[in-house]
A and B are shown apart, each in its own frame.
Chain A
Amino acid sequence: MKRATFLRGAAAMAAAATVSSCSSEGSGNKSSGKSDNWEIPQKDPTATITVVGQRAKSGTSGMDPVLKAFHKAHPTITVKYQQIPFKNLNSVLASRITDKTGNPDVFWTDQPRVAAYATKGYLADLTDQFGDLTSALVPTTVDACKFQGKLWSLPLGNSSQVLYYNPALLEKAGVKPPSADPAKRITWQQLAKDAKRVQDKGGAKYGMLFGQPNRYYQLEPLPASDGGGIGAKGKHNLTVDVNNPQWVETMNFYGSLFDKKISPKSITPEQTGPTFIAGHTGYFWHTQNWVTWITEQAKFEWGGGLTPVWEGGTPYTPTGSWGIGLNPYSKNKEAAAIFMKWLAIDGVGGFGKSMEWSIMPANKKGVEKYLASEPYTGSAGGKAAAKIIDYESKNTAQARVATVGYVEFETLIEEAFSDISNGTDAKKALDTAQQKITSAWKKYQ
């Protein structure tokens, strides 16, 4: 072969080969090849299991203490833990579970994704093994892990929302702090005015930060509060509904916060908390998880208020959290089940018990321990937050839409949120999202 011809062929092959490895999610899925005929053993087997989660292994909120405590309680079971960033968890799980090697055995499941994961065969049905053990868990979190009457995941956590604020900056601007009294809940419109004032008069760099900008989890209560629903309706929640007038109105409001520079564009969820802690932000709306971090790290006294309500609307707050699921192709289901049970159910739950800084547990005894901890009792802000969490969890918590098409929905609606915060007209962005999600959901109809 002539050299140039050979080179040309080789380059073409290299080019072809470079893109080939990410192309197939797996084919020929004729049979599941899995057995559901197993139970949680009385005696620990000797096994090594792989667990994938979005939590870091080490560091303040790392899994190391949890794994250490488990190994102490169950020495014959070794847990190999791997962290996958939240953003990539879905795609990594899709590729690893579909290769049917049974690795990972156990993985973190975002509660609204349970329906999608169950439908796609990514989760083992846990009804027979764990159905009778769920009385130890907060019922709404168990419901979030069910789909079509079956239990597919064990809830580890629960979440609520607090409107954190920097009292010194508010005072300087002459702004009244948001109340922790449900009868005096402020409106979103009022918050926008106050935040702007705190920026203009109080010297705040940012008026307000969304803890998780552009994420459906956090933004869904805005249209819901205005009466626009949570994004989908109808049979199996498969009729998209994201461009109705209330969605457009509330998302125009969301976009205006960035347009008026009350909130900064292009800040990531990982950067919002540290930014508030740095002390130059008026308001910070995020999960209760931040009570601990702000208490530990902020060099200012902080306050906590209730999530605002849309003017003339109904108060809603985001909720939902993480669970753990079992790979249907796991070769170590018994050992994995012991780990899952220990983590979520036993006592106050190994997860909440062993972590210095944890999410609010789904375990009932765990919640009591959690809200009695120092961050919720040691300061005025902490005490207010405990009261708010308790009230919101029972009265205003609004779960994300449960649909088999959740993954597509979340991805595409968050693209729209991102565009809106970057200046795209809300109507245009939501019309596009409506059309794209409808198209992506065709396969489920």
Chain B
Amino acid sequence: MEKVPVKTNRAGEAAPGASPSKRTRGSRMARSQLRTAVIFLAPAVLAIALLRLLPFGEAVWDTLFKSEGFGVLAEEKFAGLENYVTLFTDVSFLQTLGRTVVFNLIINPLQIALAMAVSVLMTRKMFGRGLWRTAVFLPSTIPLVGSSVAWGIALRPDGPVNALLGLFGIGSQPFFTSSHQALASIILVASWIGIGHWMIFLIGGLNSVNQELYEAASIDGANGWRTFWSLTVPLMRRPLLFVLVADTVANFVLFVPMQMLTNGGPENSTTVLMFDVYQRTYTFSEPHIGAAATVVLTVIMIIIVSIQFRLLGERDK
């Protein structure tokens, strides 16, 4: 008997109306695909469970205890939600919380808007496009520690950036030494690295947009601005969502520039939650309070990421 190809849908399930033998073969294929998926996914899922979720669970558990004594000699005692009460009655923690949210509300849209603008520019036909792309991407290949040191020197009150500003008649700026400019200077350093990094993902997205749609828009008489908002942005939803979420997570846990350049100062102006967690846990040897601050940070991050999914995510069909 001649073999008839089994009709299956994309999920590998036998199509309705297929004969029993066809159904059996279909389910065998489905099982095979499932096995392949499990084999491929297992290492990643296992690693996430062991290296990420388990320590996080431990951190949550840790928040319910307090130390009687210090360091490795400390005795652990159940404390319920006392660590959270301590945190939320600490004025400096509440200020840090507010500062972290404001920092993220500024840096994330800023970085993504600039990365998007640069991506659109870099996908246009222009002289030396590859070279420009490389130049924008290059900062993200330098370790953050190295970039921070370099920016620390560049933005010193007597540093080269101020010398450059002087050429244009702009007075010397305090940058990291002023409580009014330090956080903005950190945003500058982080964005110098971030824009090139996120640009790569957005260029990938832009390149996959069907060019015929642009031609159609052009024929319909849409100008560049209209095309960007009505065509590019909706079609870029998926890569934009990824970049927005990943960028938000990265900036919520941003730590190196604060540690390297300002140590949380001047006047705590660059103390954000991640730096606060580090200080409480390691400098002040308060691991349980540090763990509670971590949980607070995570909850805020989840809320913001969920909002981002709701705003930009595609509706479930």
Contacts and interface: CB of A to CB of B under 8 A. Distances in A.
B40 interface: no
A179 to B, nearest CB: 31
Contacts of B62: 23-24, 27
Given A11-B245, A11-B305, A27 B65 contact: yes
A74 interface: no
A100 interface: yes
A246 interface: no
Given A8-B313, A120-B73, A264-B158, A23 B52 contact: no
B142 to A, nearest CB: 18
A265 interface: yes
Contacts of A443: 70, 286
Contacts of A444: 70
Interface string A81-108: 0000000001100110110100000000
B263 A418 contact: yes
A4 interface: yes
A24 B55 contact: yes
Given A3-B316, A20-B52, A119-B70, A423 B283 contact: no
Given A8-B309, A14-B249, A32-B73, A424 B266 contact: yes
B287 A7 contact: no
Nearest to A93: B282
Nearest to B304: A15
A24 B285 CA distance: 10
Given A20-B298, A25-B287, A97 B72 contact: yes
Contacts of A48: none
Given A20-B55, A90-B283, A265 B177 contact: yes
Interface residues of A, number: 62
A88 B305 CA distance: 32
A91 B282 contact: yes
A431 interface: no
A17 B53 contact: yes
Interface stretch (A58-66, A303-311, A361-369, A407-415): A407-415
B316 A19 contact: no
A131 interface: no
Given A4-B309, A411-B283, A30 B76 contact: yes
B192 to A, nearest CB: 18
A419 interface: yes
B48 interface: yes
A42 interface: no
B76 A8 contact: no
Interface stretch (B133-141, B225-233, B272-280): B272-280
Interface in A1-50: 2-5, 7-8, 11-30, 32
Contacts of B301: 15-16, 19
Nearest to B308: A11
A56 B71 CA distance: 28
Contact of B72 (A122, A264, A415): A122
Chain A at the B interface: mostly helix, strand, loop or mixed?
Answer: helix
B263 A29 contact: no
A423 to B, nearest CB: 7
- Indicate the member of A17, A24, A28 with the most B CB atoms within 10 Å: A24
B152 interface: yes
A89 B75 CA distance: 25
Given A4-B316, A265-B177, A23 B277 contact: yes
B291 interface: yes
A22 B255 CA distance: 12
B177 A23 contact: no
A373 interface: no
A266 interface: yes
A20 B291 CA distance: 8
Interface string B51-95: 111011011011001000011111110000000000000001000
B52 A21 contact: yes
B298 A5 contact: no
B88 to A, nearest CB: 15
A422 B266 CA distance: 7
A97 to B, nearest CB: 7
Nearest to A27: B62
Nearest to A206: B158
A18 B274 CA distance: 11
A22 B294 contact: yes
A423 B177 contact: yes
Interface in A206-231: none
Contacts of A24: 55, 58-59, 62, 281, 287, 290-291
B309 to A, nearest CB: 5
A404 B71 CA distance: 11
Given A20-B298, A27-B61, A423-B174, 6 more contacts: A11-B309, A24-B291, A265-B156, A266-B156, A266-B176, A422-B174
Interface of A: 2-5, 7-8, 11-30, 32, 90-91, 94-95, 97-98, 100, 119-122, 264-268, 271, 328, 404, 407-408, 411, 414-415, 418-419, 421-424, 429, 436, 440, 443-444
14 contacts: A4-B315, A12-B302, A12-B306, A16-B56, A18-B253, A26-B72, A90-B283, A91-B282, A94-B71, A94-B285, A95-B282, A97-B71, A98-B71, A120-B73
